[in-house]
Structure 1
Amino acid sequence: MQEESEYATMWVSEGILFFTFKPLAELDLKEAQIIVASRLKFQNKTPYPVLCNIYNLKTVSEEAADYLATEGITLVPAIALLCNSYYHRVLAEVFIKLHNLAKPIQIFSNKQEALDYLQKFI
């Protein structure tokens, strides 16, 4: 099953939730709230480790980042952030350093390594 919205595409495969942001100029608080609500509805109270592809993110507002670091990790035992550029790696590193997440989170440029990491959280 796959869910697609204006802001993201998500699906579950082999116990992992795959989440890909669609191109956005800036992810703001309102969009973050819509994305999280959509993901929670899609998960139907079932926790899944998340492979989050951030290739399409340009900027994230401080309020959106704060929301994603708190409410956005509900029903998420672990997160693997998939980056394809130096810019996205820095964006992910800043997010992790500024938000003391209560869940394990790692940054990857290799999809298979990210999936291997998430396997232990299924």
Structure 2
Amino acid sequence: MIRGEDYAHLWIEEGILHFVYKPNTVIDLEAARAIVKTRLRFQNGTPYPILCDVRLMKTASKGAREYLAEKGCINTLAVAFVIDQAYSGTLIKAFITISNPSVPTKAFTTIAEALSFLSRYN
């Protein structure tokens, strides 16, 4: 059985949900569904701005990205991606442009910048 906890660590700090992907994570559609299910259960009905650290994630399939753009925005006020590598940056920029998430979504290279963006939605 696939569990969202297998892919990321999550916690809430100062009203922001932190979602940090584990090293070399590969997300397919089945994993994306498990991740969203875990996050929604963790939030227990409360919407949060989300800091999503993808610096160590390896990749996500097209189906996973589309699912996360639609269902991944449920109970989400805004999303700030923290990116590091050129590959992650390209993947996330494509996700934002092509998948068009339904909540404000931006990519940043530092956690401080991401938190500053999210503080507007807290």
Give percent identity, aligned residues only: 39
Contact 1:7 1:24 in 2 (8 A): no
Contact 1:24 1:58 in 2 (8 A): yes
What SS is found at the alignment partner of 2:90? Answer: helix
Normalized per residue, the structure richer in strand is: 2
* Counterpart code for 1:36: V
Unaligned runs of 5+ in 2: none
Counterpart in 1 of 2:73? 73
**Secondary structure of the residue that 1:77 maps to in structure 2?**
strand
Deviates more, 1:32-41 or 1:55-64: 55-64
Give the ranges of 4+ consecutive aligned residues of structure 1 lying more than 4 Å apart after TM superposition.
Answer: none
Q: Which amino acid aligns with 1:57?
A: M
Task: Give me the CA root mean square deviation.
Answer: 1.2
Aligned length: 119
Per-residue CA shift, 1:11-61, capped at 9, x if unaligned?
A: 000000000111345210111100100000000000000000001221211
1:72-93 deviations in Å (ceiling 9; x for gaps): 1100110000001211111110
